[in-house]
Structure formats: C-alpha cells, structure tokens
Amino acid sequence: MAEENGAVYLVPYFLPFAILANILSGVKAVLLLCNKNINFLGYVVYGLQLVYIATLFSFGGYLPYPTAFIAIAGTMTEFMVRKYAQEYEVFTKEWEKQKKKEKGEKEERKRRLFFPGKYDGQLFRIMWHETKHQKKALLLMIVGNSILFGMLFLLFALKEKFQEGYGIADALPSQGLNGILMNAVIVVTVLYVFFEGLALYNFARNQKTRQSVLWILGARESVQVKIQAIEYGLLIVSSLGVGCLLGTVGYGISASVLNKVLNNQIPFIASLNIYFITIGIYLLVSCITAFVVNDSFKRSIYGSGKKSKRRFVIKRKYMTGMILSAFLILAYSVHYYSKRINAENIYTILCGFCGGVLLLVLAGSLIRSRRYRMSSDNFIQVMGKIPIQSGLLRSVSLRFVLFLFHVIFLGILSVNMAGNLAAPKEETLYPYDYVCMAYEEDQNLFEDLKQKYEIDIKAYPMTRVTTVQGDATDWIDEANNYYMNVIWPQGQHVGISESTYRLLCEEKGVIPQDIEIDKDEIYIVYQQDVSMKAHPLDWYMDRKTPQIRIGQPLRAYSFTQREKLYPARTVVGEERQILTGLFQGGMQENLVVFSDEYFNQLKIQEGPSMLYTIKIEDSKIRKEIEEQLNQFVKLHEEDSSWSRAIQPYYSKQVKMNDLSTERVFQEIAVLMEMFLIVFCVCLVQSMKVEFEKQESRKRYRLLSYIGIYHNEYKLLIKREIMQAFGQPLLWAYLVSAVIVGMTCQLREITGLELRRFAGCQVGIWVLYFLIQLVLLKVAEKRSLKIQ
C-alpha cells in the first residue's frame, strides 16, 4: 500500500515529462515543414520520452494510459515528418529529372515518326485486294455474324409480340417470357463471342505475313490500326445489314407459321425499337470482342521475339492426385446437383464434370505416355503412335471445348426440348375454369353465382403462406448482402389442411399420399409439369428447412427478427401434382399441407381464407361470370400489391394461353440455341483441320519417304480424327446420361410421363449423333484431301 501511495505522489512530477515531449514533438514537426531542422529539439524529445518510459516501468505502469498513447503518437508523427522533410528535396530533384527525360523522349519520338506527306493510294488498294483475297474467312465471318444477329433479332421481336397477349405484364426478369428471353440471349451472346473471337483470330492469323511486311517496310502503327479498323468495321457493318435482312425474313416466316398454329394475329413486321435494341447489343458485343481479340493477337506477335516461356509439363508424381481430385470434383458436383434446394443448378454440374473430365484426360495422357516409355515396340507399333496431325492429339483445349459444346446440347438443351415435347396438354393442367382466393365476407358472392348460374363451386379453407425468398438470387444480390434487407419477391403459396388435400386429390381423381404431419411439419405439393425445373419452396440461403410465415408478405422487418417472423418448418414429404392448377411456372401458389389439428388452431387472419374452385359447362355464361369476378378483384387489389403475378382469381383460358405462349417461345429459343451449338462445333472442327494443313503435308511427305502405304495412312487419319473429335462426343453422352437421370429423379418423372420424356430425349440424341457422324466424315475427307 505504501508503494502505491508513493507512486501516486510521484505522478505530478513525471507527467510533465510526457506532456512536454508531445508539445516539443509538435513544435519540431511544424519547424520541419518550414524547412527548419533543429537537432537539439530532437534530443530533448527523446530524453523526455526516455524519462517517461523509465518511470512507467519503475512504478508498474500506474501512469495514465491515454498519455502513453498520445506520447507514442506524437513521437511517431515527429519521426515521419522528419524523414519526409529530409527526403523531400531528393524526391523532388529525381522527379523533375525523370520528367525532363520523359519529355525529351516524347519530343524525339515525335520528330522521328513525323511523316509530312501522304501514303500512296496504291498501298490502300493493295491492302483492299489482299483483304478480299481471303474469301473463305470473310464469307465465314459475315455469314456467322449475320446468323447470330438474325437470331437475336428474332428472339426480341417474338418476345415483344407474344407479350401483347400475355397475361402477366410486369413479370420478373427471371420469370415467364422474360426468363426465357434472358436465358436465350445469354446463350446466343456467349456463342457469338466464342464464334467472333475464333473467326477474328483466324482472320488476323492469315494476315500475319502482311503485318510483318508492313512492319519491316516501316509503316506507321497508325496506318496499320486504320487498316484493321476499316476491315473490322466493314465486316461488322456488312454482317449487320445481312443480319437485319435475315432477321426480318425469319420473323415474317415465324409470324405466318405461328398465326396458323396459335390462331393469333402477329404482325409480319417488327417494330422499330426492336431494330435499335438488337443493333445496339450487337455493336457493343462485336466491337468489344474485336478489340480484345486484336489486342491479344498483337501482343502474341510482338512478344514472339522475346524469350520463350518454359513449357508447362505435368510431372508423373501428380498423377494420383489428379485422378483423386477428378473423382472428388465429379462426386461433389453430382451430389450438389441432386438436391432440390439447388434448383437444378446446371452451372455447378458443368464446372464439376468439365473440370473432372479435364483432369481425367490429363491423367490418362500421363498414364499412356508412361506406358509408351516403359514398353518396347516394333517399328509398326511405333509408327502407329506417331500422330499425323499432332495438334489434334496434343491440344487438350480443343477436346475440352468440343466436350463442353456436346454437354450443353445433350445435357441441357435437349432436356429443355424433351420436357416441352413430353409435357401434357394445357387443358389437363387446369382442372377448374376459375380458382379464387377469397375472404369470408365474399361468401355471399359465390353463393349467388352458384344459385344464379347453377355452376359447380366448391369451397375449401385455406391460409396464405409466405416464404422468405420466392426466387433465386444472382451474384449482385449476394455481393450487396441482400439477406440484411427485406428480400423480394417473397414466395406466396396456399396453405391447406390434410383433409383438404385429400378432398382435392379425390376431386382430381388421384390417389393421395399416406402422410403423417405433426405441429411444425409440412407436406409440399409442387404444382408443375415435367418441363419445369425442380426447385425449393423457400430459396433463402439454400436451406433444407424452409422458413414459412402464416399470413401475407411483410413490407418491412429487421433481418435480426427473421427467424421469429418466418419460423423454420420440417418437410416430411414432397410430390409433384396438379391439384388446383399450374400458376407462375410452379414458382408460386404451390400447396403447403399442415396437419388438421394445427390448421384448425391457426389464429392469424391475414390474406385470403377460402379457396373456391369453379367449373363451368356452359361457355355462354363465362363472360358474365368474369364480370362478377372482376368486381371481386377490385375489392382485393391489395393482394396483388406485393407481386402482380399473384391474383385474387385465375382464369383457365388466360393461363392456358400464357402457358402455350411460353412453350412455343421456349421451343423456338431452344431450336436456335441447338442450331448455334451445331454451327460452332462444325466451325471448331473445320478450323482445326485447316490450322493443321501445313503440318499434315510435311508429315505425310515424311511418311511417304519412309514407305508407308496410302491405306495405312488413311487408317491413321481416321484414328486421329476419332480420338480428337469422337472421344469428346462419347464422353459427353455418358455425362449427359447422368445429368438426364438425375433430372428425371429431381422432377419425379415416372410412368407414362417418363416414357414420353425418354422417347423425345432418345430421338434428339440419335439425330445429334447422326449430325456428328456426318461432320466426322467431312473432317476425315478434308484431312485426306489436304495431302
């Protein structure tokens, strides 16, 4: 106690040392900024700090800690200012010297590159004739760009015209016609970028000799840039004109066909804004692609004279790890895709399968090379291992790209097309003419309708069920921490009791499932057909237990209270069945079944509480009934305030028209994407054979000198073509079979639906296989013709 009291008595004597040190540090900093350096002040400051630190250690650190922090901060500030003041002059002199040097270099370069005259017009005529000489490359680029532009135009035009008769005017970008258009535009744009990049690279590659000659002759870089800009500009503009023509003709033909099929009045001429939208997207993507490809090609040319990089070689000791990694990636992607909560996320399975197969291919090449090195073969066996077109076997990237295209066609696009073709007719998906979500005060309205028109009206108790998140999120929402706000759209579904579920099944004529539900458990009935992806009831954070609120969506709440407002529910079972109708593509208005005891104890009265189903036999009274229901809608407009897709009542005719429109638009979009995939596969194979032309001739000449027969040479070419182009196709069929099998399991496709779906799927696969056989034969003949 005496020591502590002694320390207290010493505090007033040693605190001034720290305070004075801070004051002098500030004074010295100000003097240094004024270019006045006084070393004596520095020694005084350090001495005062030393006394203060010694006191701090001697008396157990009793002195106030804020003073210690201030002292340290003051000393550091003084030190940094002193260092800055000492080196300021040196930095200033070096910067001025470097600035003068750069200015002199710029002036010297300007004088050296100054060209007072003009280039002879003959130079540009020569360049023009040389450009026109590449007829194949020019024709390929113009035709390919025109086809892609025409398809993009056709998609936008058809979507706008279909939207005029569509029931939902303001659907989300990922739903309805908007979702189909967005997915199709993304696929077409990606394929266009791939095609444009490959075609431009081939075009620039053929002009490599011309650029080298111009460089040797001393042509200015600006001239080469102008020539390239004119060439690319003419290609893009010419493709634009031809594409507009193709798109207009294609739209007119499609409109005439669809008018007969759908009995609609689609105009044969698209509106002007469609031209502007499509041209804007085309010019933006094409200009960016041309700039990136040209810049990359120039870097590769100018950097070719530099020191070559070390070739990337995979060591054999990594072979086991690569094989194990491949199987782990494949297993994880299959497991991830097989869960309903992931909503058939095809990107994961594509990355997983492609990455796994790529690792397996690399590991397989290592195993084969090791076997070749360890085995002793005769001359004939060795000759069989020498590739004629070494690039075809050496380029793993080629096979990887082809494999990716095949998987997209066989595992994604064919599933969408087969699902649409195998889906039941629209009439069977809507068992009632009208389905209404009403309140207790609306009971008199429906009783009057039943008595006045003698129609079949049944009433079932219901409650509005809301989930935290009703649709998938993108990376932008995740980057913005969307879960810390109110998430839109919230899922809106129909909650019913187990007894009501059995009554609806009996009314539909299907056998209900045997279920046992407790208080906090639910049973989900997804109302969708085989063409629609399997998805969770609640999309929030990909949770297995959906968070469900009894009542209408909440406009505002704190995310910290989300667990209380939307309690988690245990799912005891799921099924895919149409009991009231297919609404919003199966994303909304699904049936959530509660136990009878729990449903009868619900005290929350938010939103509709009665589910009415109406069947009409006499179509003449339909108009009068709709007038009555429209008055009913005006009374409950608030029910649609959270989402216009949610309506107080749904009409069978309107929903059938919407569904048929979506299916037709989906089939048109998928057909376009399939055509583009086949076009890109043909392009890749043709350009690869063309790239290997010179090398193939040299190797054939060498083998002919050795004495190889022409028939043996044909066998070698066939084997290499099959390895380069056939193996990716076979791998793609195996992978796609797994994807299709898991998709059928997720969508619960069984019985007659499974047979129809499998028949459509096999038919598409057989047709694609025949197309690939033709392309393989063409590539084989071209390879033999080169010799």
523, containing H or E segment = strand 521-526
Buried b (16+ CB within 10 A) or exposed e, 343-361: bbbbebbbebbbbbbbbbb
Tell me the CA distances in angstroms from 367 to 362, 374, 375, one per residue in order: 9, 11, 12
Measured distance CA(646)–CA(641) in Å, rounded: 9
Tell me the CA distances in angstroms from 56 to 73, 536, 746, one per residue in order: 17, 64, 71
Q: Which residues, 6+ apart, have CB-to-CB distance to 409 below 8 Å?
A: 674, 677, 678, 732, 768
| pLDDT score at 60 | 47
Q: Which residues, 6+ apart, have CB-to-CB distance to 415 below 8 Å?
A: 739, 740, 743, 761
The string of DSSP codes covering 281-332 is HHHHHHHHHHHHHHHHHHHHHHTTTSPPPPPP---GGGHHHHHHHHHHHHHH
Helix, strand, coil distribution of the chain in percent, nearest 5: 70, 5, 25
Please state the φ and ψ torsions of residue 106, each to the nearest 5 degrees: -65, -45
Measured distance CA(7)–CA(4) in Å, rounded: 5
- Residue with structure tokens 């600035």? 99
Give the mean pLDDT of the chain.
78
Is 542 within 8 Å of 342 (Cβ atoms)?
yes
| pLDDT score at 302 | 57
Measured distance CA(206)–CA(130) in Å, rounded: 11
| pLDDT score at 362 | 67
Q: What is the pLDDT of residues 206-243, one digit of tens each?
A: 666 666 666 666 666 666 777 777 777 777 888 888 88
Buried b (16+ CB within 10 A) or exposed e, 587-618: bbbbbbbbbeebbeeeeeeebbbbbbbbebee
| Residue 749 CA to its chain's centroid (Å) | 27
Reduced to 3 states, what is the DSSP secondary structure of residue 280?
A: helix
Strand order in the sheet with 548-550: 548-550, 463-467, 492-497, 591-594, 521-526, 570-576
HEC profile of 178-239:
HHHHHHHHHHHHHHHHHHHHHHHHHHHHHCHHHHHHHHHCCCCHHHHHHHHHHHHHHHHHHH
Closest CA to 167 of 632, 645, 761, 487: 645
Residue 121 pLDDT exceeds 90? no
Is 400 within 8 Å of 725 (Cβ atoms)?
no
What is the sign, positive or negative, of the torsion defined by CA atoms of 368, 374, 377, 380? Answer: positive
- Identity of the amino acid at 359: L
Q: What is the pLDDT of residues 286-333, one digit of tens each?
A: 888 777 777 776 666 555 544 444 554 556 666 677 777 777 887 888
Closest CA to 238 of 292, 294, 286, 203: 286
Burial (CB count within 10 angstroms: exposed 0-12, middle 13-18, buried 19+), residue 495: buried
Q: How many CB atoms lie within 10 A of CB 194?
A: 17
Tokens of 469: 């998140």
Measured distance CA(756)–CA(502) in Å, rounded: 28
Residue 133 CA neighbour count, 13 Å, CB half? 10
Q: What percent of the chain has pLDDT over 70?
A: 72
pLDDT band at 392; cut points 50, 70, 90: very low
| pLDDT score at 133 | 59
- Strand pairing category for 521-526 and 570-576: parallel
Q: What is the pLDDT of residues 652-696, one digit of tens each?
A: 998 998 898 889 889 988 998 899 899 888 888 887 777 677 677
Burial (CB count within 10 angstroms: exposed 0-12, middle 13-18, buried 19+), residue 210: middle
Q: What is the pLDDT of residues 360-382, one digit of tens each?
A: 666 666 666 665 555 555 444 55
Measured distance CA(489)–CA(474) in Å, rounded: 13
Asked which of 274-278, 345-349, 547-551 is least confident by mean pLDDT, the reply is: 345-349
What is the sign, positive or negative, of the torsion defined by CA atoms of 207, 209, 211, 217? Answer: negative
Residue 285 pLDDT exceeds 60? yes
- Identity of the amino acid at 61: G
pLDDT band at 32; cut points 50, 70, 90: low
| pLDDT score at 389 | 46
Between CA 291 and CA 299, with CA 295 as vertex, the angle to 5 degrees is: 175
Tokens of 106: 């710029």
What mean pLDDT is predicted for residues 186-193? 81
| pLDDT score at 214 | 66
pLDDT band at 743; cut points 50, 70, 90: very high
Residue 603 pLDDT exceeds 60? yes
Measured distance CA(244)–CA(255) in Å, rounded: 16
Reduced to 3 states, what is the DSSP secondary structure of residue 636?
A: coil
| Bigger pLDDT: 543 vs 465 | 465
| pLDDT score at 2 | 41
Q: What is the pLDDT of residues 518-573, one digit of tens each?
A: 888 999 999 999 999 999 999 887 677 899 999 999 988 888 889 899 999 999 99
Burial (CB count within 10 angstroms: exposed 0-12, middle 13-18, buried 19+), residue 154: buried
What mean pLDDT is predicted for residues 191-207? 74
Tokens of 642: 């959270």
| pLDDT score at 457 | 94
Q: Which residues, 6+ apart, have CB-to-CB distance to 355 below 8 Å?
A: 326, 329
Q: How many CB atoms lie within 10 A of CB 380?
A: 9
Cross-strand pairs, 406? none
| pLDDT score at 7 | 44
Measured distance CA(602)–CA(609) in Å, rounded: 11
Closest CA to 616 of 608, 607, 606, 626: 626
Burial (CB count within 10 angstroms: exposed 0-12, middle 13-18, buried 19+), residue 412: buried
Q: How many CB atoms lie within 10 A of CB 498?
A: 19
Tokens of 205: 């590659």
Rg of the chain, C-alpha, whole Å: 37
Is 732 within 8 Å of 400 (Cβ atoms)?
no
Please list the alpha-helical segments (H only) found in 113-175.
121-133, 135-164
What mean pLDDT is predicted for residues 182-203? 78
Closest CA to 693 of 205, 212, 228: 205
Q: What is the pLDDT of residues 141-153, one digit of tens each?
A: 777 778 878 888 8
Residue 432 pLDDT exceeds 80? yes
Closest CA to 762 of 256, 258, 417, 369: 417
Q: What percent of the chain has pLDDT over 90?
A: 24
Asked which of 181-190, 307-316, 757-766 is least confident by mean pLDDT, the reply is: 307-316
The string of DSSP codes covering 576-624 is E--SS---GGGTSS-EEEE-HHHHHT-----S--EEEEEE-S-GGGHHH
pTM of the model: 0.75
End-to-end CA distance of the chain: 105
- Residue with structure tokens 């360049």? 127
Closest CA to 742 of 334, 329, 327: 334
The interaxial angle of helices 414-422 and 727-746, nearest 10 deg, is 40
